[in-house]
Amino acid sequence: MESRFNLFGSPVATSFVKRLNAATKVISDSGLPTATYELVKIRASQINGCGYCTDMHTKDAAHHGETSVRLNLVAAWREATVFTEAERAALALTEEATRIADGRGVSDAVWEDARKHYDDDQIAGLIAGIAMINAWNRLNVIAQTPAGDYVPGQWG
């Protein structure tokens, strides 16, 4: 499979991608646990059918020490016993925020559960992280960026 559009082949696309990359520093500095953010990126990418992002974030998470058991169970996190309550709250928020087109938005129950586990900076990082991965998913799905060849740390 070949990409239908090179996100680094146009000055406009390259400028946008660079700005998205720069914005990730805010999320990293929020205090949101790195492992949680990787789980969020994987789950949103699965929901959005973004093979490139799913490939990237499962490989990055494994590279940073995430277990294969947890990586294999992200899609079935509700039935899995390997995630903390805080991670489960983040995954629930990710699912509802990623599926806002379904018309339900984010329920008060899911929001309140996330707020039990994350302080203001962390919840801000979580919200920004969910928005960020959804943007990346859309870019890569639209461009049909092929999956499978990503090498951990490839993008810095």
Tens digits of per-residue pLDDT, 13-32? Answer: 999 999 999 999 999 999 99
Tell me the whole-structure pTM to 2 decimals.
0.95
Q: What does the pLDDT read at residue 1?
A: 74
Confidence band, pLDDT 50/70/90 cuts, at residue 131: very high
For the segment 36-83, what is each residue's pLDDT rounded down to a tens digit? 999 999 999 999 999 999 999 999 999 999 999 999 999 999 999 999
Average pLDDT in the chain: 95
Whether 17 and 52 have beta carbons less than 8 Å apart is answered as no
The pLDDT of residue 129: 98
- Of the candidates 34, 100, 46, the residue with the CA atom closest to the CA atom of residue 73: 46
**Of 114, 90, 93, 91, nearest in space to 105 by CA:** 93
Write down the pLDDT at residue 83: 98
CB atoms within 10 A of CB 120: 10
Mean pLDDT, rounded, for 127-151: 96
Confidence bin at 147 (pLDDT 50/70/90): very high
User: What is the C-alpha to C-alpha distance for residues 8 and 15, in angstroms, rounded to an integer?
Assistant: 9
State the pLDDT at residue 46: 98
Please give the single-letter amino acid code of residue 123.
Answer: I
**What residue spans of the chain are helical by DSSP H?**
11-28, 34-47, 51-63, 68-73, 85-98, 108-117, 120-143
At residue 155, does pLDDT exceed 80? no
**Mind listing the domains of the chain with CATH numbers?**
24-143 (1.20.1290.10)
Residue 103's pLDDT band (boundaries 50, 70, 90)?
A: confident
